[in-house]
Amino acid sequence: AQKITQTQPGMFVQEKEAVTLDCTYDTSDPSYGLFWYKQPSSGEMIFLIYQGSYDQQNATEGRYSLNFQKARKSANLVISASQLGDSAMYFCAMRGLFNAGGTSYGKLTFGQGTILTVHP
Amino acid sequence: NAGVTQTPKFRILKIGQSMTLQCTQDMNHNYMYWYRQDPGMGLKLIYYSVGAGITDKGEVPNGYNVSRSTTEDFPLRLELAAPSQTSVYFCASSYGGVQYFGPGTRLTVT
């Protein structure tokens, strides 16, 4: 079974500062993927960044980077130079494998989320 | 590209009523998913499909049914609505592992 844990229900950060959102995971799959999604107050789910379990380097996408520590089973999201528009709920998710008709497909397991508030 | 679209955006149902949540994607993705998000929680998988004619249950399938007659459409059917089905429902499609979500349907059962 797979599990994603986000231990920070809420985080606060000053505008223009960096913030780290924590995510730990548990899986017995040798191959998996880790994702971060942003959910603003409007409700949509926005894909931010992806890290594969075999990727050697940490993923980066603009101001977002994923601090992947495989031995510790952690995949923390780092947002640099926070902006007011970054205020939102952030979800960490893991893609595991499920079997259908003998073939494996990706399934996302989500953490409970962290609410980030950026102060001016 | 419209991406993933869902209708309706909002709906209020009485207990025992039925309805279908519509989901359409124009990205030619084979994989499609239905999730529900309860207040303050992450998303839980209801049903998924790996292609037209192929569907299977996720974590929380009870009270729901799906069909997939085309690549584009993946409707979710609620039979005999119950207050426990009050939630926000998201449809998603995927290619290359990344799932792209629709805007969601906020459903209230009273």
B48 touches chain A (CB under 8 A): yes
Cα Rg of chain B (Å, integer):
13
- By residue count, chain B amounts to 110
Vertex A44: Cα angle to B86 and A75 (nearest 5)? 105
Provide, as residue numbers in chain B, all residues whose Cβ is less than 8 Å from the Cβ of A35: 98-99
CB-CB under 8 Å, A47 with B98:
yes
Question: Tens place of pLDDT for every residue, chain A, 120 residues?
Answer: 789 999 999 999 999 999 999 999 998 888 889 999 999 999 999 999 999 998 889 999 999 999 999 999 999 999 999 999 999 999 999 987 665 554 456 678 999 999 999 999
CA distances from A78 to A75, A86, B24, B29, B66 (A): 10, 12, 33, 30, 38
Question: Tens place of pLDDT for every residue, chain B, 110 residues?
Answer: 679 999 999 999 999 999 999 999 999 999 999 999 998 888 999 999 989 999 999 889 999 999 999 999 999 999 999 999 999 999 999 976 789 999 999 999 99
A36 touches chain B (CB under 8 A): no
B100 touches chain A (CB under 8 A): yes
| Whether the Cβ atoms of residue A52 and residue A35 lie closer than 8 Å to each other | no
Residue A29: other Cβ atoms inside 10 A: 13
CB-CB under 8 Å, B50 with A93:
no
